[in-house]
C-alpha cells in the first residue's frame, strides 16, 4: 500500500485527498495507450491533437471514477462512525485509509460494498448515455469492433468497459479487496468471530495472489510482458497484505479479552476548557513536557485535545485572556477517543493513535476516564507474546 499522499489535491469532509507520485506514471501510460486507440477510432493521422485530447480526458475520467469509488467507501465509513484519515490515488488504483477497524459485520459489509456500488452506477450511467447517443455504435465500440464511431461515444464505451472491469476485479473474494472484505463480513456474521473471518478472507487473498502471479508469469512468457508484470505485481501486493492480515489476526487472538480499561492510565491529566492559554502553558506543558493534553468541560466530558504547537502559536499578549476552548482540536468525529470496553486489538491500525501516540479513554457518557498510549499497547503486546518489556 502507498505511504502518505505525496501531493494533496483537496479535502473532502475533512479527509485529505491526494496522489502518490506513482500515479503520474500510470497516468502517462494510460494516456499513451489510449491515444493509439482514439487515433484508430477517429481515423486520425499521426501527430493530430484530437486523439491525445480524448486520451487525456479518458484517463482523468477513469481516475475520477476511482476517486468516486473510494469516496463511496469514505462516506459510508463516516456514517458508521469510522474515521477516514486520507484517500490516496497510487500505482494500483486508490485506497481509503480507515482510522480504525469496523466493530460489526454489518458495518464491514456496508463500507466494503459502497465502493463497488458507486462503480456500478458509473458504469450504468456511461452505458445509458452511450446507448442514448448511438446504441449500435456504442456496443460496437465496447466490443472494439468499430473504428468509425465518434470520439465521445468511444470515450463512454471505454469508461463503461473499464469500470465494469474494476467492478469485477474488486468483487474478487480476496482480502483486502472489496470482495474479500465482503466475504469477511459474511463469515463474521455467520460465525460471530471477526478473527476467524479475517483468517478466512486473508487465506482467500493469498490463494488469489498465487493465481495472479502465476498468470502474470504466463502472460510475460507468452510475450505480453507489460500485462504480465503488472498482474504479478498486483498478486505480490495482494499476498503481502493478506499475510499481514493473518499475522495481525494471530496477534489479536493472543490479546483477545484485553480492553482499553485494562491497559490505560486511569488518572489522566486534563485541562478545563475555560483555562487560559497562559496557565495551560505554565502549569501543564512546561510542567509535564507532554505534546498534548485532553480538554474537558466542567462535567469532565471529553471535548478534544490541546496541542503544544497550537498553544505556542497564540500571541503572548493574548495568552492571559484567551481560553483553551478556542484553540483545541475538537473531537467532532470521535477519532480522538476510544471507549473503555473497546478491545485492544481494535486499536492496532488506529491512525489517530499512530499519529498522536495516544487517545482519550471515555465512558458511555463521554466522560474522560483515562488515556491510552501506543507505549502502553506495545507493552501489552509484548506481554502477550511473552517478550521482555522495555524498561
- The residues near 196 (Cβ < 8 Å, ≥ 6 apart) are 187, 188
pTM of the model: 0.71
Please work out, in degrees rounded to the nearest 5, the angle formed at the alpha carbon of residue 14 by the alpha carbons of 167 and 60: 40
**In a 10 Å sphere around its CB, with 0-12 CB exposed, 13-18 middle and 19+ buried, how is residue 86 labelled?**
buried
pLDDT score at 237: 87
DSSP bridge partners of 370? 361
Three cell numbers written together for 298: 466542567
Q: Which of 131, 119, 3 is nearest to 63 (CA)?
A: 119
pLDDT score at 101: 76
Residue ranges for the chain with pLDDT beneath 70: 1-6, 144-148, 252, 256, 385-391
pLDDT score at 369: 95
Domains, the chain, ordered by start: 7-171 (no CATH), 260-385 (3.10.580.10)
pLDDT score at 319: 93
114 near 72, Cβ under 8 Å? yes
Per-residue CA distances from 243 to 99, 234, 311, 349 (Å): 21, 14, 43, 15
DSSP bridge partners of 12? 15
Per-residue CA distances from 121 to 61, 138, 159, 166, 231 (Å): 14, 18, 12, 12, 26
Buried b (16+ CB within 10 A) or exposed e, 326-353: ebbbebebbbbbbbbebbbbbbbebbbb
pLDDT score at 312: 94
pLDDT score at 176: 84
Encode pLDDT of 317-329 as tens digits: 999 999 999 999 9
Q: Could you please report the per-residue DSSP string of 225-279?
A: HHHHHHHHHHHHHHHHHHHHHHHHHHHHHHTTT-BHHHHSBSS---EETTSBHHH
pLDDT score at 73: 94
57 near 155, Cβ under 8 Å? yes
pLDDT score at 391: 44
Amino acid at each position: 500500500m502507498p505511504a502518505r499522499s505525496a501531493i494533496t489535491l483537496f479535502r473532502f469532509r475533512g479527509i485529505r485527498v491526494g496522489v502518490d507520485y506513482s500515479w503520474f506514471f500510470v497516468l502517462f501510460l494510460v494516456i499513451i495507450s489510449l491515444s493509439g486507440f482514439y487515433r484508430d477510432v477517429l481515423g486520425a493521422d499521426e501527430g493530430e491533437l484530437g486523439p491525445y485530447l480524448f486520451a487525456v480526458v479518458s484517463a482523468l475520467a477513469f481516475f475520477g471514477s476511482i476517486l468516486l469509488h473510494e469516496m463511496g467507501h469514505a462516506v459510508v465509513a463516516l456514517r458508521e462512525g469510522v474515521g477516514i484519515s486520507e484517500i490516496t490515488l497510487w500505482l494500483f488504483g486508490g485506497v481509503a485509509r480507515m482510522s480504525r477497524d469496523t466493530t460489526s459485520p454489518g458495518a464491514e459489509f456496508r463500507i466494503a460494498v459502497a465502493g463497488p456500488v458507486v462503480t456500478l452506477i458509473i458504469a450504468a450511467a456511461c452505458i445509458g448515455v452511450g446507448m442514448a447517443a448511438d446504441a449500435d455504435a456504442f456496443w460496437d465500440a465496447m466490443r472494439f469492433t468499430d473504428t468509425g464511431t465518434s470520439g465521445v461515444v468511444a470515450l463512454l464505451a471505454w469508461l463503461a468497459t473499464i469500470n465494469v472491469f474494476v467492478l469485477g476485479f474488486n468483487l474478487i473474494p480476496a482480502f483486502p479487496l472489496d470482495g474479500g472484505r465482503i466475504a469477511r463480513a459474511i463469515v463474521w456474521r455467520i460465525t460471530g468471530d471477526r478473527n476467524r473471518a479475517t483468517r478466512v478472507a486473508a487465506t482467500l487473498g493469498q490463494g488469489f495472489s498465487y493465481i495472479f502471479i502465476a498468470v502474470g508469469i504466463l502472460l510475460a512468457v507468452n510475450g505480453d510482458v507489460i500485462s504480465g508484470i503488472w498482474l504479478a505485481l498486483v498478486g505480490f501486493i495482494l499476498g503481502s497484505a493478506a499475510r499481514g492480515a493473518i499475522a495481525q489476526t494471530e496477534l489479536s487472538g493472543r490479546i483477545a479479552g484485553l480492553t482499553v480499561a485494562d491497559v490505560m492510565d486511569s488518572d489522566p491529566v486534563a485541562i478545563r476548557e475555560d483555562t487560559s492559554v497562559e496557565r495551560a502553558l505554565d502549569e501543564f506543558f512546561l510542567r509535564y513536557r507532554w505534546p498534548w493534553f485532553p480538554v474537558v468541560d466542567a462535567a469532565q466530558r471529553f471535548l478534544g485535545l490541546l496541542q503544544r504547537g497550537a498553544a505556542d502559536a497564540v500571541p503572548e499578549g493574548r495568552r492571559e485572556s484567551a481560553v483553551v476552548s478556542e484553540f483545541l482540536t475538537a473531537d467532532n468525529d470521535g477519532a480522538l477517543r476510544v471507549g473503555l470496553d473497546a478491545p485492544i486489538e481494535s486499536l492496532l491500525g488506529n491512525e489517530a493513535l499512530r499519529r498522536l501516540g495516544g487517545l482519550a479513554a471515555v465512558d458511555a457518557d463521554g466522560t474522560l476516564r483515562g488515556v491510552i498510549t501506543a507505549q502502553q499497547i506495545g507493552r501489552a503486546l509484548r506481554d502477550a507474546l511473552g517478550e521482555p518489556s522495555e524498561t
